[in-house]
């Protein structure tokens, strides 16, 4: 089983997850904007106005009638227009906690921005420190977890305190052939 398949199978029926697949052009903002978008947290209220109108009339036989109207006008801005600093992001994730238990960041080895790797590490640490209750799974191909977090020097300081690393061995030729044969049979493909 491949690393992406593993995370998909592990959380297959889990409705409260957010996933991002890294590319070489990703940075901290693009990763977490994608995650916020997937849980509906990409907008923030910037201005709220309440409008209220109350009227009363005195009718026949001194019967009173009171009517009221209320409305709320909200202007929303995309989060990217806001400063996506660590505290702001954690607050947004906490606010959307009812929609999210786990964040999966896949193909982490593609992330060339070492600042983004460090940022992901800080988010994971801060989620734990503030007891937000959101787990992050980072999936990637590397010789070791240290290589996967290359450029994030504090990784070893946080390891085993905030992180558990699991190595999934590469698939064998027989496992790959089984997958191909299963798909060929399932989709009736002739070679």
Structural domains for the chain: 3-42+81-186 (3.40.50)
Looking at residue 1, what is its pLDDT? Answer: 45
The tens digit of pLDDT for each residue in 45-55 reads 554 445 556 66
Which of 30-39, 66-75, 141-150, 168-177 has the lowest average pLDDT? Answer: 66-75
Kindly tell me if the per-residue pLDDT of 79 is higher than 80.
no
List the structure tokens of 151: 């450029």
Q: Are 150 and 117 in contact (CB under 8 A)?
A: yes
The DSSP code for 52 is: E
Would the pTM count as exceeding 0.85? no
3-state secondary structure of 65: strand
Pick 88 or 14 by higher pLDDT: 88
What φ, ψ does residue 49 adopt, rounded to 5°? -120, 130
3-state secondary structure of 184: helix
Looking at residue 2, what is its pLDDT? Answer: 57
Which of 25-39, 65-79, 103-117, 127-141 has the lowest average pLDDT? Answer: 65-79
| H helices present in the chain, as ranges | 3-10, 28-38, 86-95, 114-129, 145-148, 155-158, 173-186
Kindly tell me if the per-residue pLDDT of 61 is higher than 70.
no
Pick 120 or 157 by higher pLDDT: 120
Q: What is the mean pLDDT of residues 134-158?
A: 88
Q: Are 96 and 40 in contact (CB under 8 A)?
A: yes
């Amino acid at each position: 089983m491949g690393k992406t398949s593993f995370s998909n199978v592990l959380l297959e029926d889990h409705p409260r997850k957010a996933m991002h697949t890294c590319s070489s052009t990703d940075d901290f903002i693009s990763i977490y904007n994608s995650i916020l978008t997937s849980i509906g947290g990409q907008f923030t209220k910037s201005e709220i106005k309440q409008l209220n109108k109350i009227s009363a009339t005195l009718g026949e036989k001194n019967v009173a009638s009171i009517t009221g109207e209320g409305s709320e006008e909200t202007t929303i801005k995309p989060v990217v227009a806001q400063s996506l600093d660590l505290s702001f992001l954690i607050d947004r994730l906490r606010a959307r906690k009812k929609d999210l238990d786990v964040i999966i960041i896949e193909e982490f080895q593609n992330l060339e921005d070492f600042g983004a790797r460090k940022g992901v590490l800080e988010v994971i640490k801060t989620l734990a420190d503030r007891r937000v209750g959101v787990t992050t799974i980072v999936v990637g191909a590397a010789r070791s977890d240290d290589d996967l977090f290359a450029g994030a020097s504090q990784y070893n300081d946080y390891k085993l305190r905030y992180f558990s690393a699991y190595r999934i061995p590469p698939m064998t030729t027989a496992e790959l052939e089984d997958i191909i044969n299963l798909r060929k049979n399932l989709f009736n493909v002739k070679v």
